[in-house]
């Protein structure tokens, strides 16, 4: 993934673009296969990070539950 687009991807993902910029970005995603592939990779990485955070939280909650059940 090319890092030059990370700021753009983050603005789009976080809904920080004005409607015109959002429309232009979506048109670019449709017409530029390389940009589209990079954005899909960005989304995959973001999802993986989110999944790891959720897994870490579940593990911590399990540890707390186990500690409480032991007394």
Per-residue confidence (pLDDT) for residue 61, from 0 to 100: 82
Q: From CA 22, how far away is CA 12, in angstroms rounded? A: 7
Say what the pLDDT of residue 38 is: 95
Task: Mention every residue, 6+ apart, whose C-beta is less than 8 A from residue 33.
Answer: none
Question: Per-10-residue mean pLDDT for the chain, 71 residues long?
Answer: 83 94 97 96 84 78 84 68
pTM: 0.67
């Amino acid at each position: 993934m090319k890092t030059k687009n990370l700021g753009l991807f983050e603005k789009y993902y976080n809904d920080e673009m004005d409607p015109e910029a959002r429309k232009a970005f979506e048109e670019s995603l449709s017409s530029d296969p390389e940009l589209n592939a990079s954005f899909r990779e960005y989304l995959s990485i973001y999802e993986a990070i989110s999944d790891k955070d959720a897994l870490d939280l579940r593990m911590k909650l399990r540890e707390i539950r186990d500690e409480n059940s032991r007394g």
